[in-house]
Amino acid sequence: MEIDPLPNGSGSNAATSPETAATTTAITVTSNTAPSSKLSHLTESLKLEHQFLRVPFEHFKKTIRTNHRTVEKEVSAVISSVTDVADSDEISKDDAILSLTSLVSRLQGIKRKLEEGSHAENLQAHRCRARLDHLDSADAENLSEWNNVRLKRVLVDYMSRMSYYDSAMKLAESSNIQELVDIDVFQEAKKVIDGLRNQEVGPALAWCADNKSRLKKSKSKFEFQLRLQEFVELVRAENYMRAISYARRYLSPWGATHLKEFQQVMATLAVRSHTECAKYKVLFEPKQWDFLVDQFKQEFCRLYGMTLEPLLLIYLQVGLSALKTPYCYEDDCTKEDPLSQDSFRKLAMPLPYSKQHHSKLVCYITKELMDTENPPQVLPNGYVYSTKALKEMAEKNNGKITCPRTGLVCSYSDLVKAYIS
């Protein structure tokens, strides 16, 4: 539901009950209010930790899949070698010894890879456990300390996304939160991004091969776009025969699902790289590599369950959404307002204006609105009534006021004026 912004950033809501007004204006607070508020705040905070658990879990699954494929391939090769030796009718003693030595060497290699894979899996499992323990340690008593750790995690996430890996690592080490951050995951992405910026598709294609099943499941066409770009580069280099062979091998399998793009890129063989036709000229522009970088970031974040934007910017936008009013964009906006800064204004640009409210209080006795003309008055027991009602009651009872809900009797002079914000 859309909320229309008001010119001065304020509005009015439905009338609140006198009980609510009394609660908000009374000074006394029950002893369990603070813990209850902290617990509610903690519950809401934990709802934002989806990425915190998803990333190491996805990395853990990827490590398991990689180890499984590696071992399966090596074991199949060993079994095939044993079968070949066993089926050989005429084999000399020296050849048999050589074959067995080769098998032993290969089996030792499999054992080493199993140990390395097991170690990598244990590290990922330990990281998942450390994060679960960290979430479990959060409670109302140490909420401030826990939020401080989260702030450092958010800063490390931002530094990692911006490629400030040394700074991110130093902050993680100094705060002892190495297991709570994902610097290594972002370093993996950096290799692919650097390759694309250098106009090399090799690292990106290798990444696609490692994640082929998951990309196929999500119906990603990132690999197809990489193949298209590699084909375009062959046409740009005027290596037409190699481009045709490349298209037969790598592009034709995508023809059934991406026929339009396939036909467009194949037409570049005829129009060449120096064409002025806008439809084909755009395929040879350098910005195509920037598009591939953006596409990779989207696929990478989707694969690991990450947010596309840094967490720091998301949290800042959450806070700015509560502060943004039309006044923030006026020339005389106070400098204490974060939105007086151009960087924050740019960040808040897509956000809606905050809907500010003024309380609307209705007197329990007269059922009339309490405002500046008929201000609310607070009794010693915390209940609130209108000045008009209390004056009439005092005039009829020699200056005495009786609370209609609790029976408390007090003097008119005991009342305290309340102000509506």
Supply the pLDDT for residue 140: 74
How distant is the alpha carbon of residue 252 from its chain centre? 36
Rounded CA-CA distance 273/267 in Å is: 11
- Residue whose tokens read 């994902």: 182
| Six-digit token string for 382 | 């915390």
The yes-or-no verdict on residue 95 having pLDDT over 80 is no
Mean pLDDT lowest among 9-23, 52-66, 280-294, 398-412: 9-23
The yes-or-no verdict on residue 378 having pLDDT over 90 is yes
Query: How much is the mean pLDDT over the chain?
Result: 83
Supply the pLDDT for residue 391: 94
Q: Let me know: does 378 contact 26? Beta carbons within 8 Å.
A: yes
Q: Which of 287, 190, 267, 273 is nearest to 233 (CA)?
A: 273
Amino acid at the residue 53: L
Q: Which of 359, 410, 357, 360 is nearest to 383 (CA)?
A: 410
Q: Which of 150, 153, 195, 192 is nearest to 172 (CA)?
A: 153
Express each pLDDT in 356-365 by its tens digit.
666 678 899 9
Q: Coil, strand, or helix at residue 162?
A: coil
What band does 107 get if pLDDT is binned at 50, 70 and 90? confident
Q: Let me know: does 221 contact 329? Beta carbons within 8 Å.
A: no
* Beta carbons within 8 Å of 344's beta carbon, 6+ residues apart: 316, 320, 338
Supply the pLDDT for residue 99: 81
The yes-or-no verdict on residue 86 having pLDDT over 90 is no
Q: Coil, strand, or helix at residue 380?
A: coil
Percent of the chain with pLDDT over 90: 38
Express each pLDDT in 23-56 by its tens digit.
333 333 333 444 555 566 666 666 678 788 888 8
Rounded CA-CA distance 399/409 in Å is: 10
- Residue whose tokens read 């990689």: 66
Supply the pLDDT for residue 62: 84
Rounded CA-CA distance 374/146 in Å is: 46
Supply the pLDDT for residue 359: 60
Express each pLDDT in 259-291 by its tens digit.
999 999 999 999 888 888 999 999 999 999 999
Rounded CA-CA distance 62/64 in Å is: 5
The yes-or-no verdict on residue 78 having pLDDT over 80 is yes
Q: Coil, strand, or helix at residue 191?
A: helix
Give one DSSP letter per residue of 94-141, joined into a string. Answer: HHHHHHHHHHHHHHHHHHHHHHHHHHHHHHHHHHHHHHHHHHHT--ST
The yes-or-no verdict on residue 299 having pLDDT over 60 is yes
Burial (CB count <10 Å: 0-12, 13-18, 19+), residue 315: middle
Angle (nearest 5°) at CA 198 between 195 and 199: 90
Neighbours of 85 (CB within 10 A): 15
Pairing of β 369-370 and β 361-362: antiparallel
Express each pLDDT in 152-199 by its tens digit.
999 999 999 988 989 999 999 999 999 999 998 898 899 999 999 999
- Residue whose tokens read 């994640």: 211
